[in-house]
Amino acid sequence: MRASLAWLLFALGAAIPSVAVLVVALRAASTESARAREEQFAERVAAAQATKRDVDAALARATETLRRLEPAAVSRLESRLMAEKPDFADVVVIGAEGQMLVPKPMTDEPPSPPECLTHRAELLEGDRTAARDGIIGACPHLKSEQGRYLWPLLALERVAEGSTPADAVATWIEEHAARLGPAERSVLRARVAPLPEKVRDAALGALDRPLPLHRTLAGLLTEPPGSDSVEAGLRIHRGRYLSLVRTMPEGIDAGFVVHESSMIRAPGLPAHLVLAAGARGDATDVVLTPSLVLHVEPKDGASLDAEARRSGRRILAVGVAGVLTAVALATVLFARARKAQRLAELRTDFVAAVSHELRTPLASVRMLSELLETGELPDDERPEVERTLAGEARRLSDTVERMLRFGALARGRLSVQKSRVPASCILEDARDRFHKAHPDKGIVVDAPPSLEMHVDPGLVGLVLDNLLSNAAKYAAEGHPYRVEVRRDGRHALLSVSDSGPGIAARARRRIFSPFERADDRLSRATEGTGVGLSLVRGVARAHGGDAFVKSTVGAGSTFVVRFPLEGS
């Protein structure tokens, strides 16, 4: 089977189970991350239920406290309620006229002097600039008819004109932030935008501070949409907030208010959970009133989500790693099996080739010697027959010699007997041998007369014979062949060039391995066993050098053998 077809079948065979395993791993990964999410959800539900139990128990205790409340002065009522209030509630005491007594309102600012009121009137009808300058100079607490501070808005106008320093506005906002209502805050937030960055950030910081509790509760309690009921002597309101209030003698209302921000800053609620107002409609909601719902969320939801994804990914990674390892292992095994198979094929070819190489000259030797034996050969033909007989015997002995050397090399027993020899002698001897075997082919040798090599001359001769006989076989028309030796640093480079058909790039490395030939078709058409070049490289390496080929398809090849000059 052709190698590419075998690899294709292998790839298909490996791809099918790999895809199957990957699909299984993907499924396992998604099941795992779903399981991790379910687990997290179950934890949140359990935490929500525990929170709900705590809240219910605290509210029951608060109801009991209110029922038992004795009439007393406001300050005593306050301290009693503060001691018994649930963590997530605020205490309120409201006077008979509806004024909030607890939490205490901020002490009022001093009333503005009469000229401030005149300035206020002049702002609308009169000298606006003078009125504005008067207010900025002496009326920092002056409010409009609607109860909004005038100072910051007028000062901001003058900042834009360049006559009031910007940081004066920031300072005023810092000082008055606690008294500013939500509407004033949002107007100022928009107006301070053009101020220099540092001043603007200071002003925005002050405007973003939470409203004082009195203001928050006052805002909440003034417009309470929701339902009021009377249960067990207490007035209970359920809407944006939950309040439990008991009316004491003299019309004073005292009780507890639970609202969004009192819940969120409650210290007694589970520390690992964040309580966000607003219903999500699932089992992790703690419903206090229809519009006051706490949603129990993991404090670090994003990282828990990432953890769920990670555990899914871990499974997938294990699956992918498993598949990759299995495919890599199978590939290695398959490659080895292919190599062993190829080697077995090459060996069979080798045995056939060697038998053929021996049989042909052997048949000639036998035939020619029998011819001589008959004594019937005419005298004039005798020298020719004897020459052919000697040539065939030489061929036989060369083949046997090559096989023996190859056998020794394969067993690591190639013996190298080095001596100092002029390079030119080795080349000229090889040229003479080649001439004898191939009188019809041209050969040129070139060696510097002074260059000496420290090598086994027999083995180097074998190298040259192999390279030259290859040139004659595979580049029959590519002569004259050029055999050259030159010094290259601490090496001698011995090369044999032809201008034959060349060798394809993918075969250049391979042909130096035993039994390998550049082209399988060639091995059928041309005599050869595929061991010549492996012998060439073996000899080079036994000397501490190496062998390689440079070739251009269609233009020829140059085989180069490098020998160290060391010791020469």
Q: Residue numbers of the site for ligand ADP (CB under 6 A)?
A: 466, 470-471, 474-475, 498, 500-501, 503, 511, 517-519, 522, 528-534, 557
Question: Judged by CB, which is closer to ligand ADP: 101, or 343?
Answer: 343
Q: Closest distance between ligand ADP and the C-beta of residue 468, in Å? A: 9
The partner residues of 14 in beta bridges, in order of sequence, read none
Distance of CA 485 to the CA centre of its chain: 54
Q: Closest distance between ligand ADP and the C-beta of residue 476, in Å? A: 10
Q: Closest distance between ligand ADP and the C-beta of residue 537, in Å? A: 9
Q: Closest distance between ligand ADP and the C-beta of residue 523, in Å? A: 6
Q: What is the 3-state secondary structure (H, E, C) of 144-170?
A: CCCCCECHHHHHHHHHHHCCCCHHHHH
Q: Closest distance between ligand ADP and the C-beta of residue 347, in Å? A: 14
Type and span of the H or E element at 491: strand 491-498
Cα→Cα distances 324→4, 63, 319, 428, Å = 22, 67, 9, 58
Residue with tokens 């040259």: 464
Q: Give the amino acid at 113.
A: P
Rounded Cα distance between 411 and 409, Å, is: 5
Question: Judged by CB, which is closer to ligand ADP: 33, or 470?
Answer: 470
The pair of three-digit structure tokens given for residue 196, joined into one six-digit string:
């220099």
Question: Judged by CB, which is closer to ligand ADP: 170, or 503?
Answer: 503
How many Cα atoms occupy the beta-carbon half-sphere of 214 within 13 Å?
13
Are 547 and 491 in contact by the 8 Å Cβ rule? The answer is: no
Question: Judged by CB, which is closer to ligand ADP: 284, or 470?
Answer: 470
Name the 3-class secondary structure at 457: helix
Question: Judged by CB, which is closer to ligand ADP: 256, or 515?
Answer: 515
Check whether the bond before 103 is cis (ω within 30° of 0).
yes
Q: Closest distance between ligand ADP and the C-beta of residue 15, in Å? A: 35
Residue with tokens 């990432």: 306
Q: Closest distance between ligand ADP and the C-beta of residue 448, in Å? A: 24
Q: What are the DSSP calls for 392-442, one per residue?
A: HHHHHHHHHHHHHHHHHHHTT------EEEEHHHHHHHHHHHHHHH-TTS-
Q: Closest distance between ligand ADP and the C-beta of residue 507, in Å? A: 7
Q: Closest distance between ligand ADP and the C-beta of residue 519, in Å? A: 6
Question: Judged by CB, which is closer to ligand ADP: 275, or 539?
Answer: 539
**CA distance from start to end of the chain:** 51
Rounded Cα distance between 434 and 443, Å, is: 8
The pair of three-digit structure tokens given for residue 33, joined into one six-digit string:
């991350």
Question: Judged by CB, which is closer to ligand ADP: 357, or 392?
Answer: 357
Rounded Cα distance between 439 and 434, Å, is: 8
Q: Closest distance between ligand ADP and the C-beta of residue 432, in Å? A: 20
DSSP 8-state secondary structure symbol assigned to residue 105: P
Question: Judged by CB, which is closer to ligand ADP: 261, or 513?
Answer: 513
Question: Judged by CB, which is closer to ligand ADP: 280, or 524?
Answer: 524
Are 255 and 234 in contact by the 8 Å Cβ rule? The answer is: yes
Question: Judged by CB, which is closer to ligand ADP: 144, or 355?
Answer: 355
Kind of pairing between the strands at 556-564 and 491-498: antiparallel
Helix, strand, coil percent values for the chain (each to nearest 5): 55, 15, 25
The pair of three-digit structure tokens given for residue 184, joined into one six-digit string:
């004033």
The pair of three-digit structure tokens given for residue 9, joined into one six-digit string:
């079948």
Q: Closest distance between ligand ADP and the C-beta of residue 14, in Å? A: 33
Question: Judged by CB, which is closer to ligand ADP: 103, or 528?
Answer: 528
The pair of three-digit structure tokens given for residue 296, joined into one six-digit string:
């129990």
Question: Judged by CB, which is closer to ligand ADP: 40, or 513?
Answer: 513
φ, ψ for residue 420 (rounded to 5)?
Answer: -85, 120
Q: Closest distance between ligand ADP and the C-beta of residue 514, in Å? A: 8
